[in-house]
Amino acid sequence: MAIRWTIEEGIGRLMMDQPPSNTMTMQFFNEFRHWIDIVLYETGLKAIIIHGNGRHFSSGADLNELLFNLDRQIMVENYRSFTMLEQLGIPVISSIRGVCLGSAFELALFSNFRICADDAVLGLPEATFNLMPGIGGIQRTAALAGKSKALEIILRGLTFSASDALAMGLVDAVVPKRNALPVALNFARALPEKMMKGHRDIYLKKFLNPLNVSE
């Protein structure tokens, strides 16, 4: 299994489970699509945390496998499964450590909140392989960091540190690496039951800042 899914006290944890780098294989995307269909009907779920097993969030899609098996319809369905994270109506928090690149960064961009360890390396390096981000990275980065910053990141295929990501508005908080998951869990517990759209900043101020994380 590429995904481990557990629920404890109403907090669901989706762990990408192909260490060390938790590469997003075809199997991962298949399981993710299946998972989102199940979670849609899960009752009593208060929040979801996405993280990676071990030191890394994920190094992104397995490019060789993806290019070898390229299928437009599956790409469309993968994309849709990412956007469905927003339809769940509960907060989705990505807890990011180590590498978080390409499609993995795109997945994190579809979460409502991104708590980032200080050792993280994030980015969209697709252009350095003469490709482009394919699952919403362009739109999401533009919305968060601005059009020109997004264009520069994507054309250059840049990777950047957690603190740079924070400065660009691409993550919400940077914490010491050991705290990335505990802070995400405490934040999830503190959040109210219903996630109201358009109140991100209020949630961050009210429920994340008191956990003593630097803004």
Partner 1 sequence: MNYGDEVLFEINDSIGILTLNHPPENYLALPEFIPVTIFREWTKNDTLKGLIIKGEGKSFCAGGNLEHIFSAGEKGLSLQSLMADGLELLRYIQSLEIPVIAAINRVCFGGGLEIALACHFRVASENALLAFPEVNRNLMPGMGGTFRLPATIGLFESARMILGGDMINAVEAKELGILDYVVPKDKAFEFSWNLMQKMTHDRPVKVIRYIMKALKNSIELSPEEAMKEETNLFCELARDESIRRKKEDGHTVDY
Instruction: Note the residues at the interface with partner 1 (CB under 8 A).
Output: 21, 23-24, 59-67, 70, 72, 75-76, 79, 83, 101-103, 125-136, 138-139, 142-143, 146-152, 154-156
Closest approach of partner 1 to the CB of residue 58, in Å: 8
User: Could you tell me the two tokens for 31?
Assistant: 């399981």
**Placement of tokens 């981000």 in the chain:** 133
Closest approach of partner 1 to the CB of residue 94, in Å: 17
What's the rounded Cα separation, in Å, for the pair 66 and 161? 27
Q: Which lies closer to partner 1 via its Cβ, residue 159 or residue 179? A: 159
Q: Which lies closer to partner 1 via its Cβ, residue 11 or residue 109? A: 109
Closest approach of partner 1 to the CB of residue 124, in Å: 8
Q: Which lies closer to partner 1 via its Cβ, residue 151 or residue 204? A: 151
What is the DSSP pairing of strand 47-52 with strand 92-96? Answer: parallel
Closest approach of partner 1 to the CB of residue 130, in Å: 4
What's the rounded Cα separation, in Å, for the pair 67 and 159? 22
Per DSSP, the residues of 75-102 read: HHHHHHHHHGGGGG-S-EEEEE-SEEET
Reported as type and span, the H/E element at residue 123 is strand 121-123
Closest approach of partner 1 to the CB of residue 213, in Å: 25
Q: Which lies closer to partner 1 via its Cβ, residue 66 or residue 93? A: 66
Nearest CA among 198, 167, 11 for reference residue 86: 198
Q: Which lies closer to partner 1 via its Cβ, residue 83 or residue 209? A: 83
